[in-house]
Each structure stands twice: as C-alpha cells, then as structure tokens.
Amino acid sequence: MNPILSTALSGLQAATRRVSVSANNIANALTSRPASNPDGAFKAQRVVARSVPGGGVATDVVNKDPATVTGPDPSVPGGVSVFPNVDFAEEAVNQIEAVASYRANLAVIRTQEKLDNSLLDIKT
C-alpha cells in the first residue's frame, strides 16, 4: 500500500478512537459507586498516540491519572461516592481536535487520489 495512504488511514483510525473514548467518558461521567465499595466504578480514559516505524500512528487507550475522584453524594451511606474523572470542557476540546485531525487526514487521502488520477492521465 502507498505509504502516504497508510499514514493517513492510521490518522483516521486514531481520530475515530479519540472520539469514541471521549464519547464513552461523557456517557459515563455521572455514574458513581459508593466510596466504601469503589470496585466496578467507571474509570475515565484517554488515548495515547505513538508513532509507528515507517510512518503513521498507533493508539493505546489508558486510564487517566487519576481515573476517578471522590465527591459528596447524599444518596449513599457515608455520603461519599467515587466518580469518573471526566472534565466536560476537556472532552469537548478532545472531540474538536479529533474531528480536525480526521478532516486533515481525509484531505490527504483525497489529494493523493487526485495525484494518482493525474499520474494515470499522464501515462495514457
């Protein structure tokens, strides 16, 4: 496969994963577990990108540090619960950046397609 296309496709996949992880964080942001039994509490995540030899990017999903925070919750015994460490403003920025990255990588693919088509026109 063309290395330019391969690199752009890996960028599309990374952007898609970033939006997916962010959406999952937002969907679970208001879930909680009593602080006395935090097992099973949703842990906020983030995407870590790393370059791949030969071009492109690979992503790993890891827990944020810290993944959970404690806060007041009068609905549970003890009045304290564990919540995912989700910042809505940060998630909005992550999604905007991911969409911009997706569009940029898509533009690279379209440009490469035009170049390939032009090359075919020259040869015929």
- Report the pLDDT value the prediction gives residue 124, as an integer from 0 to 100: 57
Q: Give all strands (DSSP E) within 12-124, no chain letters.
A: 33-34, 45-51, 57-63, 68-72, 80-84
Q: Sorting pLDDT into bands at 50, 70 and 90, what band is 116?
A: confident
- Name the pLDDT band for 123 (thresholds 50, 70, 90): low
- Is there a contact between 84 and 90 (Cβ–Cβ < 8 Å)? no
For 45-80, the pLDDT digits (tens) are 999 999 999 889 999 999 999 999 999 988 888 899
Percent of the chain with pLDDT over 70: 95
Q: Residue 28 pLDDT > 80, yes or no?
A: yes
pLDDT confidence band for 37 (50 / 70 / 90): confident
Separation of alpha carbons 6 and 37, rounded Å: 46
83: nearest Cα among 97, 95, 72, 99:
72
Q: Residue 43 in 3-state DSSP? A: coil
Is residue 44's pLDDT more than 80? yes
Instruction: Evaluate if residue 43 carries a pLDDT over 60.
Output: yes
CA angle 28, 30, 34 (to 5 degrees): 105
Outline where DSSP puts E strands in the chain.
33-34, 45-51, 57-63, 68-72, 80-84
- Tell me the domain boundaries of the chain: 3-123
Evaluate if residue 100 carries a pLDDT over 80. yes
